[in-house]
Structure 1
Amino acid sequence: MDTGDTAWVLISAVLVLFMTPGLALFYGGMVRAKSVLNMMMMSFGAIALIGVLWVLYGYSMAFGDDIGGGLLGDPFEFFGLDGLMGTAGLDGGFAAEELVFTVPSMAFVAFQGMFAILTVALISGAIADRARFGPWMVFAGVWATIVYFPVAHWVFAFDGAESETGGWIANDLLAVDFAGGTAVHINAGAAGLALALVLGKRRGFGRDPMRPHNLPLVMIGSGILFFGWFGFNAGSALAANGQAAEVAVTTLAATAAAVLGWLVTEKIRDGHATSLGAASGVVAGLVAITPACSAVSPLGAILLGVVAGVLCALAVGLKYRLGYDDSLDVVGVHLVGGLWGTLAVGLFGTASATAGIDGLFYGGGLDQLGKQAVGALVVLVYSFVVTFVIGFVISKVMRFRITEEEEVAGIDTMVHAETGYDLDSLGGGSGPTLREQARAEARNIEGSRA
């Protein structure tokens, strides 16, 4: 066990956990005022539920010994993290008996658990303004079990790290996904698209303005994501070493370049650069560099980031052309950005980086690009199909979507009996409840439209 490596992994785990409240702020500011609490609750619900499932069986499914051709880890090998605890005295201190490379297994458990939480929370942005909280929690648990935990095994479980045999993408296909371009972003983006199709469009989509209600929240959230992402990417080195430092630099370079790419695209297309564009460019760059951060040079990272900013800025408009309602652009940013970053490994990868592979533009031919494409496509299709089935079943059994009356009145008051900005309460006195006010408002709106 190396104490420096252990300290860095534990700090990185906390940084990645901090990303989920950052995501809650980012998403919360982007929705309308009557939906902000529901939006943030879906992120906090993911922390609560996935944190428990990860300890019970999620970690074992992801990093236990493979039981099916590189497709799934043994869910009972580390059930309840059995066998991973225990220390041996060392100079009056404690040294873990179970290690992943040079860090205690329990540190690795904590670090990877934060990835699982964030991935589930990312999906929620695609169904903002219209999903009931209870069915969302059921979906989160089922999706993590059937989709995320197996895909994490495919991508992150290397032979001999925690168990003898791991997943097929990591060990057989040999596609490079340093910190989760496929397992996290393509996975969540495809799931978001499927769930948006199952729940259908928001009332007034494409007709009524649905602007972000609080842009300062959006920018604060993106700043927290930027901060935490250094734990996400550089922490994936699992050591306080040169690779972690290299990854930190490529992460910075790509993200900064993506912001510029997004803002220039906005300026050319719309005549002005916006704060929402800057915040979205941050996330687009972070998403794109995630799989490639150990494979590209700093100059390659800048090029990758610029392209990511332009691509994602253009991709967020696809929902209006194709007719799907991805509320907060999970598809345009995470799916498109994740695909670009994953494929860019096969284009801009250089053997001078710590991943040690040459892409097409560095004389490596099409071999690595083909591996990247196969890994990305399989994860995309698997996640989309299985998510669609899960969402469809839950919709039929539990009514996933809120009613039209609830959507008009506001999901916060109708589902949670709260409001993010309850200014009326400052006046004191008694009066109708929030639900009663919301229902009356909904009836008035419906009556005026009729």
Structure 2
Amino acid sequence: MNEFSRLRQEAGYSIAQAVEKLGYCERTIYRWETGESAPRKAALETLRAIAKSKPPAQGSFRFIDLFAGIGGMRKGFESIGGKCVFTSERDRFCVETYLANHECDHEVAGDITTVPVGDIPEHDVLLAGFPCQPFSIAGVSKKNSLGRLHGFRCDAQGTLFFDVARIIEYHRPKAFLLENVKNLVSHDKGRTFEVIRRALSKELGYHIQTRIIDAKSFVPQHRERIFIVGFQENNGFSMDDIVLPDTAQGPKMSSILHPEDGSEDAELRYTAGPKAKVLDKYTLSDHLWGYLQGYAEKHRAAGNGFGFGLVGPDDTARTLSARYYKDGSEILVSQGPRKNPRRLTPRECARLMGFDGRDGKPVKIPVSDTQAYKQFGNAVVVPVVEAVARHMQPFITGAAGADRTAEPPKAKAAAEEEKVVA
């Protein structure tokens, strides 16, 4: 995301509002938004002043956090002024980390499948990073002949998406954001996503937008996830309008690795000594390193792509997974030719997932390394959620208003140019 786009969103302006407030034509604003041309310094200074004078008002809208994990989705929406009024997470270790990092004036509910929808507070936005499960889809005609309900109540019964859908159906939030793995679209030969799409748009009546976003725009990790946004109203919101930083120019591993040169304080669980060197326990044993090399060679000889991922300061990592605690094979940090590579420390995993944010405040990690690896491997990348949240913000709070139409910015810009030419 370029500076103009970031400042525009922080100021709470839609494209149309930026045109009105800054006094430039829409085509010019759109070029600044997409990075096609450099914005005027005066425009940046104006937006910067407005953004600075309008800090997020905590509680400007209410949201609920389902399948909350350690709170990555929550961090993204608190950053734009939302207030979390309900949380559900059944893993007790995740709850421990969640409560260590978030102030809750409500209890964290456990298994969402046991929570009556009437016990969930009213909310404006629903957030859910629900697990991907296959659905059993039978023909509607057969269900009708048996006198059974069809639609998501039957198709999705017994899956965790069913609980997301029943909450949306009951509370009718203004908007929702769902996150899942990229393969959700092809999961179970496309049946899973078809049930989700049909339930949200056809049965529940929401206008939905999807986009697969690679987190390496923000962090040194190739991590593709699908984001599904839904609004009650057809308000012109488009996921395609989110301007993301160029993935080719994204940060490298040096931005998250322990420098080991004394420039950061030692964190005794992970580093020690005057130079804050990473503890030896993270270096692979000769046995494990030998096994991983042999495993990789066997698959390489067979023409397969399986093997470990070795990274240095100038590299981008593979996707961090919840199984990282087992052998760390997907992301191993090179320590030179004379020393075996090492795993990332949990602190480095926190940085890799964007939890140690721009405010410099490190996330608290109260659990064991094993649990921490699982938690970060299952988490969302926080700055990605922040980018989506900022894009949704004017449509959630009503700032987008009637000045934003469903017509794409490019089409509107072209129409405006035709008027000028005429």
TM-score, length-normalised on structure 2? 0.26
Q: Which has the larger radius of gyration?
A: 2
Structure possessing the higher relative contact order (Cα contacts under 8 Å, 6 or more residues apart):
1
Instruction: Name the structure where strand makes up a greater proportion of residues.
Output: 2
Instruction: Name the structure where helix makes up a greater proportion of residues.
Output: 1
